[in-house]
Amino acid sequence: MKHILTAAALALGAAGTAQAADEVRLQLQWVTQAQFAGYYVALDKGFYGEEDLDVSILPGGPDIAPPQVLAGGGADVMLNWMPSALAAREKGLPLVNIAQPFKSSGLMLTCWKDTGITSPADFKGKTIGVWFFGNEYPFLSWMSKEGISTDGGPDGVTVLKQGFNVDPLLQRQADCISTMTYNEYGQVLDSGVSEDELVTFKYEDMGVATLEDGIYALEDKLEDPKFQDKMVRFVRASMKGWKYAEANPGEAADIVLENDASGAQTEAHQQRMMVEIAKLTAGSNGTLDPADFDRTVATLLGGGSDPVITKTPEGAWTHIITDAALK
């Protein structure tokens, strides 16, 4: 017995001296859902553990601004749409895109077909629901490109500040609303509306899409070689999670549901969302395509008299992390 206890004590001592896994706190930009499946899959499948990382995934919500969380030290890395990140950078918060898992945009306008809308030219005289907090800029740029005023009237559009739901469309307060291919569009269909009653305009198809769901860190943190190494391992494991989720959407949706502490998500919704999300991450290995960045910047600079950024950003992205992670 004495020898057993001594052996156990030695084992505990050895475990105690083992190096603890490096902690990474990831701030999501919205609540737990399949939009973030790759990270939950990487956690569930042990991909982060294989990289000696202890990752905490922090859900977002309507009252959580990821850039503020990162600036305040509440997270090491965050997810954000590029318009928001570039706006914050221009205002003094040195955010840097270190990886871009989403290749395509899921943003679109969903309109009632019986309004007679068949093309953007038909938006004149109509009311359109638009998300704000930085999400409005692709829309404003699009209308500027089309030569359509956003000040209302018969030759312009009336912009309705839309909450994060589809009520303005269902209640006929708006002729069109903002939807994501993987979320709100499904909510419209779930309400009993058929696809035949709707017409949609994807920002990607209109040539005014901006990058979504990039991974961002603070510039000064990236100057630390240890933090760089930690981010290389984090991105490598995260992309492994994303590719697993793409190949196994049903299992990925189930993993998301297991991590939904709110209990608000349903299996049917998450399964459908994961199928749509996989279309957006397909074609990306995590490396930001400079052409996609340039297109995003051009869209944001073209936002009429009130653009989200006033000049082309410098140093807003890096390939240092993905080059090392994906080699």
Between the CA of residue 43 and those of 57, 242, 280, 289, what are the distances in Å?
A: 9, 11, 21, 26
Q: Which residues contact residue 305 at a Cβ distance below 8 angstroms, ignoring those fewer than 6 apart?
A: none
CA 239 to chain centre: 14
User: Beta-strand (E) ranges in 171-259?
Assistant: 176-180, 198-202, 214-218
> Is the CB of residue 56 less than 8 Å from the CB of residue 24?
yes
Look at residue 18 and tell me whether its pLDDT is greater than 70. no
Model confidence pTM above 0.95 = no
Averaged pLDDT for residues 298-306: 75
DSSP state of 114: G
pLDDT, residue 227, reads: 98
Token pair 């930690």: residue = 230
pLDDT tens-digit map of 244-293? 999 999 999 999 999 999 998 999 999 999 999 999 999 999 999 999 99
Task: Give dist(CA 33, CA 164) in Å, integer.
Answer: 15
pLDDT, residue 14, reads: 45
pLDDT, residue 5, reads: 44
pLDDT, residue 9, reads: 45
pLDDT tens-digit map of 45-82? 999 999 999 999 999 988 899 999 999 999 999 999 99
Reduced to 3 states (helix: H, G, I; strand: E, B; else coil), residue 22 is strand
Q: How confident is the model at residue 36 (pLDDT cuts 50, 70, 90)?
A: very high
Instruction: Give the range among 17-21, 29-33, 118-122, 146-150 with minimum mean pLDDT.
Output: 17-21
pLDDT, residue 305, reads: 57
Task: Give dist(CA 25, CA 154) in Å, integer.
Answer: 49
Q: How confident is the model at residue 113 (pLDDT cuts 50, 70, 90)?
A: very high
Q: Which residues contact residue 206 at a Cβ distance below 8 angstroms, ignoring those fewer than 6 apart?
A: 120, 142
End-to-end CA distance of the chain: 51
Average pLDDT of the chain, as a whole number = 92
Nearest 10 degrees: Cα torsion 233, 236, 241, 242: 140
Please give the share of the chain, as a percent, with pLDDT higher than 90. Answer: 80
Look at residue 13 and tell me whether its pLDDT is greater than 50. no
**Between 18 and 167, the higher pLDDT residue:** 167
